[in-house]
Amino acid sequence: MTDPGNISRKFTRLYILALSAVAFLSVLGQVLIQLTLNNQLDDSGIINYAGRQRFLSQQIVKNLLLLTDGEATPADTVYLNELRRGLAAWQKYHHALRNGNREELGFAVSNSDSTKRLYARLEPHFQAIRSRAGDAVRQLETGKDPAMPARETREILAHERIFLTLMDQIVFGYDHEAKARVTQLRRIELLLGGFTLLVLAVEGLLVFRPAVRKLRDTIVQLLASETKAVKMNQELVRLNQSLKEAREELLEAANQKHLQQMSEQKLRAACLIEGQEEERKRMARELHDGLGQMLTALKLGIERMGTHGTFTEKGQKLLGELKTLIGQTIGETRVISFNLMPAVLSDFGIASALKLLTTQTSDNTGFNISFNTNFSGVRLPKNIEIGLYRIAQEGIHNALKYAQADQIAVRLVTKKEYIHLIIADNGKGFLYGIEEENGVAHLGLNNMQERSHMINGIMKIDSRPGQGTRIGIKVPIIYLEDEKNHSVISG
């Protein structure tokens, strides 16, 4: 079996060789064309300047005739200046054309032997015209011999006929040489074009034709392989579809299992929290109805003892201290009972409960704790109200105890279909998720996060060291018809 690599290398070498030959011939043709174009420009310039020599010689004779016609006119000065300029240019271009002076003409002049012989024959007549014209100009400028310019003009006319004849031969010679170079270039171009066509023909026979045969055989093999590949691809598509369906079934089953586990976990947590809240409520009621009543009765008994009994001064003082201690105990019991489960939360809702919480905490601590809301006061589901209240409790507690804040702002606002609880303080702040120095404070934040999750809320903490802390909870409002007021909660 033929090695595909050897075939590829063989065709590559042939392609490179053929294309290199075509490229070389093309570049060579372009070089020749550019050189010929440059020569053509030089030839046109040479012919132009040679023709101008004839014109300038005639202009010199014309001006001399006008200046020596015997009648002085105001235009004589113009004719004399034109004669000087024409004579100077005529001499300059004659020497430049004869000697091939590139600096004077701007291009090179290469005179053939025949042209040089013509210039040699022309030279005596040129010198005679130049000499006679120069003498005439000087005489016209001085005016010593008025008859002299006329004599010089007649001699110039005698030499001008021969000068013009020879200049015509020189111009025709330049033109003939230019046409000969163009004809030579045409022959070379035809030769290069023929050779290029020959190279292309050889390339077609030795490169393209075998390549086409190989390409045809390769296409046949590719079509056969494609047919097999199509069949295999169809089989793979069926297998892939089966795998995709199986994977989707497994993912669906896994998702269902995960959702079920999450629902069960959430339900267990909700039941646990509900049990805790019920226990808090029971303990608050027992503290209020049991221990609170007993302490109140004890306080009244001690007060009656103070009014009806006889005590020494030390006894009176001790009795007063007992009354103060019992009063403080009753107040502390009420605070504990309120913190466990405030009655205002179950009776009047979250807005009233938060208002009372901030007011009592501000009174007890002496710090500035404000509360603002735009909430209408309609009732939310019980679990949402309890969750928001506990989050607010924890946030205020953390701000006072750990953040060392002396200003706390609590806001409860509704926007669209969400209710927002915001707790902001001016405490020392922290880096949430990075700073682990205060594990208790972070435990409180985790509890707030968990309670927010239990009521389908989103909690965001924004804090920087030295810039305070802002905690925001966004909870979707659940539409709930109030049994007493028959009102509907709206976002």
pLDDT, position 425: 93
Structure confidence at residue 286 as a pLDDT band (50, 70, 90): low
Residue 97 backbone phi and psi in degrees, to 5: -70, -40
Checking if the pLDDT of 290 tops 60, the result is: no
| pTM assigned to the model | 0.40
Report d(CA 397, CA 465) in Å as an integer.
19
- Mean pLDDT of the region 13-37: 71
DSSP-derived pairing of the beta strands 458-463 and 469-476: antiparallel
pLDDT, position 459: 92
pLDDT, position 6: 64
pLDDT, position 279: 55
Checking if the pLDDT of 412 tops 90, the result is: yes
pLDDT, position 98: 79
Of the two residues 250 and 325, the one the predictor is more confident about is 250
Checking if the pLDDT of 288 tops 60, the result is: no
Of the two residues 198 and 489, the one the predictor is more confident about is 198
Q: If you average pLDDT over each of 20-29, 57-66, 97-106, 326-335, which comes out highest? A: 57-66
What percent of the chain stands above pLDDT 70? 71
Out of 201-205, 221-225, 360-364, which region has the weakest mean confidence (pLDDT)?
Answer: 201-205
pLDDT, position 102: 59
pLDDT, position 303: 64
Helix (H, G, I), strand (E, B) or coil at 463: strand
Domain boundaries in the chain? 4-223, 348-491
Structure tokens at 111: 């005179």
- Contact predicate 452/387, CB 8 Å: yes
Tokens 């924004």 found at? 462
Report d(CA 130, CA 141) in Å as an integer.
17
Match domain 4-223 to its CATH number in 1.10.10.10, 3.40.50.620, 1.20.120.1730, 1.10.8.640: 1.20.120.1730
Report d(CA 233, CA 222) in Å as an integer.
15
Checking if the pLDDT of 272 tops 60, the result is: no
Q: In CATH, what is the architecture of 348-491? A: 2-Layer Sandwich (3.30)
pLDDT, position 84: 83
Of the two residues 212 and 235, the one the predictor is more confident about is 235
pLDDT, position 437: 47
Report d(CA 235, CA 245) in Å as an integer.
15
Summarised one tens digit per residue, pLDDT across range 415-431 is 888 999 999 999 888 88
DSSP-derived pairing of the beta strands 368-373 and 407-415: parallel
pLDDT, position 240: 87
Report d(CA 37, CA 256) in Å as an integer.
86
- Mean pLDDT of the region 27-38: 68
Structure tokens at 193: 């074009």
